Structure 1
Amino acid sequence: MTGPHGTAFSGRVGWGSRPALLVIDMVRAYTAPGGPFELPEPGPALAACAELVDTARAGGHPVLWTVVRYASGLADGGLFVRKVPALAAFAEDADGGWGEIARPLKPQSGEPMVVKQYASAFFATSLASTLAAAGVDTVVACGVSTSGCVRASATDALQHGFRPQVVHQACADRTPELHAANLADLDAKYADVVDLDDALARLRGD
C-alpha cells in the first residue's frame, strides 16, 4: 500500500499446504425474493460459491458450512437479535425456511455444518478445533455478507492462526459500496482478498 502509511498495510499471509473451504451463511434469507436480507444481485456470488464447492470437493479439500440458528423465542440471540431484529427469521420456529442453504448449493454427508448465533463462524463454536484436527492451515472464505459474517469470520481465522483467503466474487453485501469497502479493509489488515480464478487454481493444485 502506498500513501501516507507507506507499507504499513496489505502484507500477504499467502496459502499454506492444507486449505479448507468455508461457505458462510449462504442461505435463502439472502438469495430468495422477499428474504429478510435479500441481496440486490445474489446470482453471481452464489454461482461462484458453487464453483468453489465443486472444485474443493474434487480436490479432496474439506468443505464446511455455517448457518445462523436460534431457539424458539430467541433466548440464545443475546443483544445481536436486538441490534438486528430481522435475525428472528433464523429462529427454529420461524416461517419461510429462510435459514435453508440456498440452491444449487447442497452440503454433502460428512461436511460439517457450524451452527452459530453471532457473526463469526469461530465465536463460541467448535470450528477452530475442527480445522486444527484436520490439519487445515488455510481458510478459503465465501458467502455473505461481506461486511458482516464474512468479515468477522476472516478476522477470527487470522486470530486463530489460519491463513484467510477471501474470494471477492464469491461474497456479496446489501450494497456494492459496502462490499467493496469491506474487501479493501480486509485485504489491508486481516486477510488476503483473492480472485475466483486464483482460488480455483489453488484448490485444483495447479
Structure 2
Amino acid sequence: MSFQDFALGTRAAVRPYHDAEDAAGRRVRQVLRITRDLRELFPGSSGILDIAAGGGEAVSWYRSLFPGVRLVCLEGPTAKPRPTVARFAAIAHFRRFDGAAIPYADASFDVITGYRGLSATPEDRRAVLLLEAYRVLKPGGLIVLFEPKGAGLAARTLTRTIRDVGFHDAMVRYDGPLPLLPIGADFHVVAFRP
C-alpha cells in the first residue's frame, strides 16, 4: 500500500471534546490508526517521542495503545501546564528541553508526535526544531504533528517547512467531516523520514 493510498483512507471523526483527556485520547488513537497500517515500517517499534507533552494527558493513552514501546515526553521551558510526576511515573520518561535541541542521539525514535508544539515555538526556531526531529527520527520513521487552526501556523506553511527539512510524502488532514478540506478546529501533518 502506498502512503497516498493509506493517507486518503484516513478519517478523523468530528465530535465535541469536553476536556484535555478526551482530546489527547483522540490524538493518540489517530496515531495508532496511522501506525497500525504501517507496522512493517517499524519492526519492533522501539520508541515514540512526544514533543510538547503538556500536562501529560496523552501518556496513559499512549501506554495503553502502545504497550512495551519506549515513550519519551518532552516539554519546552515555557509550558504552562505543569505535569505531575504521577502522570509519568513508571510509564514514560519526561524531560524538559530548550524548545529546539532535542537531547537524544541520532535515529533514536520510530515515531515522533506533537500537539501544538510548533505553533508554540517562535517562528524563527520552527525549522530548527523540525531539523532536530528529523535527526532523532529513524530512517523510515513517521512524524505526526497536530496543530490548532488559527494559532499562527497554516497547514500549507507547515507542510512546506517539513518538506524543506527533508521529510517525504507530507500529507495534511483536518479533523472535520472531510479530512481533505480545511474544516474543523485542528489539523495534522503526517510525513516520513527517507
- Indicate the TM-score class for this superposition, using the shorter chain for normalisation: 0.3 to 0.5
The structure that has the greater radius of gyration is 1
Give the structure, 1 or 2, with the largest relative contact order (CA under 8 Å, sep 6 or more).
Answer: 1
Q: TM-score scaled by structure 1?
A: 0.44
Q: TM-score scaled by structure 2?
A: 0.46
